[in-house]
Amino acid sequence: MPNYHDELDAVIRALADPTRRAVVERLAKSPAVVSELAAPFDMTLPSLMQHLGILEDAGVVTSEKRGRVRTVSLRPGALDALQLWLGEQRTPAERQADRLGIHLIRHT
């Protein structure tokens, strides 16, 4: 199993491309077959498959092939490492604001 920093690195690199982010946005709604994912993009199927390969290697998506149809899903928890890292980079002033927010959720 890759460590936290390797996982984070792979996830950020995978997301540092607008096509791959658009694929993630689509998959957050529901799993999709490859032809559906390809439809909105003006790119060849091999190019899209390459983007999907990068997302899958980074653990952001998983895919399953049944017969000739490959279905791609967002991997649950795939973006947790990045969310956790971002949470750790809050400045002292931001952390204070976060605590106020939790206080308001608890008491309103």
Q: Which residues bind a copy of itself (CB under 8 A)?
A: 5, 8-9, 12-13, 15-16, 18, 21, 24-25, 28, 30, 74, 76-77, 79, 82-83, 85-86, 88-94, 102, 105-106
Q: How far is the CB of 74 from a copy of itself (least distance, A)?
A: 6
Nearest CB to a copy of itself, comparing residues 15 and 49: 15
Strand-pairing partners, residue 74, are 61
Question: How far, in Å, CA of 58 to CA of 79, rounded?
Answer: 10
Nearest CB to a copy of itself, comparing residues 1 and 105: 105
Select from 39, 37, 40 the least CA-distant residue to 56: 37
Could you count the other beta carbons within 10 Å of the beta carbon of residue 14?
23
